[in-house]
Each structure stands twice: as structure tokens, then as C-alpha cells.
Structure 1
Amino acid sequence: MDLVLKEKHGFSYVDEGEGEVLLLLHGLMGALSNWQDVVNEFKGEYRVIIPMLPIYDLPLLTTGVKTLSKFVHKFVKKLELQDVILLGNSLGGHVGLIYTLSHQEYVKALVLTGSSGLYENAFGGSFPRRESYDFVKEKVAFTFYDPEVATKDLVDDVYATINDRNKVIRILAMAKSAIRHNMSKDVHKITVPTALIWGRDDKITPPDVAVEFNQLIPNSELHWIDKCGHAAMMERPKEFNALLRPFLEKLKK
């Protein structure tokens, strides 16, 4: 991974480039490196920041999507960020939605890709065969349209994570929190410009989810990427960036 982590004010984060802030939020099992191609594409024109969300560090009783949103607000205030353009994938999108609803004065625009918040078909409520490497490999491949994107390094990371008892109980608590926290009755209050960039073959947050978000969020636009699963910025980075760029350009006008 080319990204360099900074440690400051008790936060770990990537901070590249200068200018308007693109604040990127990773998913439940996602690494900061999932956003590598977005960072590389835009760090010459924007300040691209990726905080490490404390998914594995929260007390079990407070492990949930609302707690992560509060963490993001502390991060934004500590770094004195304003008018951020918030990008979220999967759980990161869900946290971005909650954050935007609570703090629209800090958010200039929102970009969601494979976001939870309405419906998701994730691992399920448990990892019944987490000791089986082949089972984990199959589940990681399920994330993508092209199973080859599920590299051995990626599968190894997920396998190690879900076989760490401390981590897996928090992953399950976070996943259940996300499922319980359905936002269908709230997202109509989001007024900032919103781009939905979705894999047409997403099996975790299927296309119907994107269509519903588009119908519910007033100032939203929906873009599809063919032959693409749940993490468009990883699986189809060129197409993702090509759709993101004109949305960002419109915000400058």
C-alpha cells in the first residue's frame, strides 16, 4: 500500500494533497487501501483524507453506526475541516449518511457507492464457518463481479480478521447495528448534492437499493458501472473516477 498513515490528535488517517476536502469512509471489512485509486487520481487537485474508523476499538456496548458518526464529527472538528465532500462505501456510506443528516453544515456533497442504510445482503448475522479458508474466500469473492479481484492478500486479511475473537464480535455487533438502523424514513432530509455510483452487479447492496436511495434523496443522481460488484472504486477504479470527476466539477460552479 502506497498510502502513508499519519498519527495526530489520537487519530490515524491518510492526508494527501491540498484544496477542497474529499473525506473517504471505508467499509466494515474494508481497508484504507480500497480507496488507493481515488487518492491517486484526485490528490493533485483536492485534499484527500481517509480516517481509520475505530471499528475494533470501541467498547462492545457502544459499537454501532451512530458511534462511528460521532467519531467522524470529532475528527472533522479536530482537523478543522469545512465543506467536506464525503465519499462512503458500504458501512462507510451508512456512516456518511448519518453524519450528513446530523451535520449538513459541514458537508458540501455526498457520494455513495454500495452503501448500506436501506438493505444489505452481507455475511449474514454470523460467520458459521470462519475457520474454513475456502468459505472465507468464497464470501470475499461474493463482494465482486470478478472473483479474481479477491486476491490472496485480501482473503488472508479477512480470514485473519474474522478469526480474531475481539475483532469478530465487534464486526458482528457493527453489522447488526447497520441492519437495525434503516434510514428510509430519514434520508429525504438530506439536501446536499448526492451522487450514487453503483455496481450494476452488486450482490450485497443490490441495484434496487441504489434506485431507492435515488428516489428518496431529493438532490441525487444515479450512475451505473456494468460488470461491477459492491466496491466500485476498487473493482472498476477508472470507471468510478470517470463518473466522480464530472460530479466534483459541477460542485465548483
Structure 2
Amino acid sequence: MDTVDVHGLRLAYRRAGHGQSVMFVHGGAEDSRTWTPQIEALSDEFSVIAWDEPGAGGSDDVPAEFGLSGYADCLAGMIRALEISPAPVVGLSWGTTVILELYRRHPEVVRGMVLADGYAGWRGSLGGEEAEARFAGVRAALAEPDEGDDPTLPGLFAGAPPTQSVPLLRAMAADVRRRSILASLTAMAEADLTSVLPTIAVPTQLIWGALDVRSPLAVAHEFERRIPGAVLTVIPHCGHASNLEAPRAFNDIVRDFLTNHG
């Protein structure tokens, strides 16, 4: 794992392969390890970079008062520091919200985007009532004694978690820093980036699990409707963590996008 200093923070990232660079942005309560199937599969043709956001994995803790703009600015700073700008960016779940804020604040560093099972913020995609309910649930869970985090959040997968993914999920869950996850999910709950969607002027691929109950297909169709030229590909029999539940299909879609738009 390598590191780079951005805005006074030491940020970690994983990098493998050669060729066109692509940046992967993980979801909430995760780190760059969630992209292991993509790093392994796509590094034969691309330089695959997966960051640990502030407060995750090998990166420094989030500073006080850290918000969505902080994540986006740090991501832009890493892209610039690694001299890969403009780059295609791939995000899952909360990672798509970070990418949308990245595009809003730093469109010049984005060559194209793959948005998977995501949100324009919980408030933006699910409405205020649902955003508040989800955030209240998170706060309640974080207030409980730490008896080992459940790595299989309800609705993460369409069925039972893939056997090969359970150790990975358990390892990431064990490393979650509660203060950091509260910061990211506060930003997620408050964000409404729907106004960004019609401004996107780079190639955009949408990937959704057909059985995603955390970010339902209605959100995907709203993204497809609002983002000019966006292409939606739905993976059958798949839930929210589509990159882990259907890695072969997910990787094929990303590879095709990068080949044509990278």
C-alpha cells in the first residue's frame, strides 16, 4: 500500500497494473479492499488505483467538522498528486455521492464515471424522511457496545453473502472507526446532489443490482433520466454490493466502459 499527502492528510491507496489509470472510490464502512476483485481482474489492462478515504483503511482520521466537500477535495488532490488527471472514476454506494461532489467541485479531474448502486446523497435520492430514518439507525447502532460489527448489512446482497467475500467483509468491518463512519454517513444523510446530475458532461455508465433494496432501481432510472447520455446496465439476481456479488459481470461492464471511454 502506498500513501500520498493531500491537504495535510496522509491518504493511502492500492495500485496495480499498467496502462490507462482509473480511480476506484469505495462505499461507506469500507476501504480499498472492497475492490479486490476489480484490482485483480482489471490490472491486466489498466492501472487500477483504489483509495482509502480519510478515516478508512490506512488513511489518517477525518479532521473535526469534515464534510462531503472535504472528501471530494481530498479525492481531487489525490488524482492530481498521482498525476493521472483527468481520470475515469468508479464508485459504489456512498462512493457515487463522493464522485458527484467531486464533479461538482473539480470537473476538470474527471474523464468519465461509473456509478454503481449509488445515491445523489440519501436526501437527494431517497427523500428527507428516509434519510433521517437511516441516519437515526446508524447513530443507534454506533451507540451500542462494540461487540464486533456485522459485515453483512441487511440488503447488501440479494441472497447469502458470497462465501469468498465474507472474510473480506469481516476484515473491513473490524477496522471501521466509529467517528469516521459517523462523519461519512452524516454527509450522506444531508447531501442532495440531484442538481449535479443534469450538469454531467462526461461519459457515464450506471451499474445496478436488479434486487438492490438499499438503492432501488427507481434511483438508477432517475440517474439515467437526469444524466445526459448515461447508460444503465442492470445485473440480474444481484443486490447492493454488485462488485462483490457479481464480480465477473461488474468487471466486464467496467472494462468495456474504460476501453471505449477511458
Shift of 1:212: 0.5
TM-score, normalised on structure 2?
Answer: 0.83
One-letter code aligned to 2:52: M
Find the residue that maps to 2:119 and give its secondary structure.
coil
Instruction: Tell me if 1:193 matches 2:203.
Output: yes
Q: CA deviation at 1:198?
A: 0.5
> Which residue of 1 is the match for residue 250 of structure 2?
240
- Partners of 2:113 and 2:237 in 1: CA distance: 24
> Residue 174 of structure 1: which of 184, 207, 210 is its match?
184
Gaps of 5+ in 1: 162-166
What's the CA shift for 1:196? 0.4
Q: Does 1:74 align with 2:77?
A: yes
Can you list the C-alpha shifts for 1:15-62, whole angstroms capped at 9, x where unaligned? 111221110001111231211111112112111111110135112312
2:207–2:233: 8 Å Cα contact kept in structure 1?
A: yes
Q: Does 1:154 align with 2:169?
A: yes
Q: Which residue of 1 aligns with 2:2?
A: 6
| Other structure's SS at 2:140 match | coil
The letter of the residue matching 1:30 is E
1:1-253 correspondence to structure 2 within 5 Å: 5-9=1-5, 10-55=10-55, 57-62=61-66, 64-117=67-120, 118-119=124-125, 124-125=135-136, 126-129=138-141, 130-131=144-145, 137=150, 140-149=153-162, 151=166, 154-155=169-170, 157-158=172-173, 161=176, 167-251=177-261
The answer to whether the 8 A contact 1:133-1:159 is kept is no
Change (3 A) 1:179 1:127: closer
CA contact (8 A) 1:104 1:192 kept: no
Cα pair 2:125 2:194 within 8 Å, conserved: no
Q: Distance in 2 between matches of 1:8 and 1:111?
A: 24
Moved more, 19-28 or 76-85: 76-85
1:251/1:60 CA distance change after superposition, 3 Å: same
Aligned-partner Cα distance in 2 for 1:233–1:138 = 15
* Aligned mates of 2:35, 2:151 — CA distance in 1: 23
Aligned-residue offset at 1:155: 4.1
Give the C-alpha shift of residue 171 in structure 1. Answer: 1.6
CA offset digits 1:159-209 (Å, max 9, x no partner)? 663xxxxx3233223212112111112221111000000011111111111
RMSD: 2.4
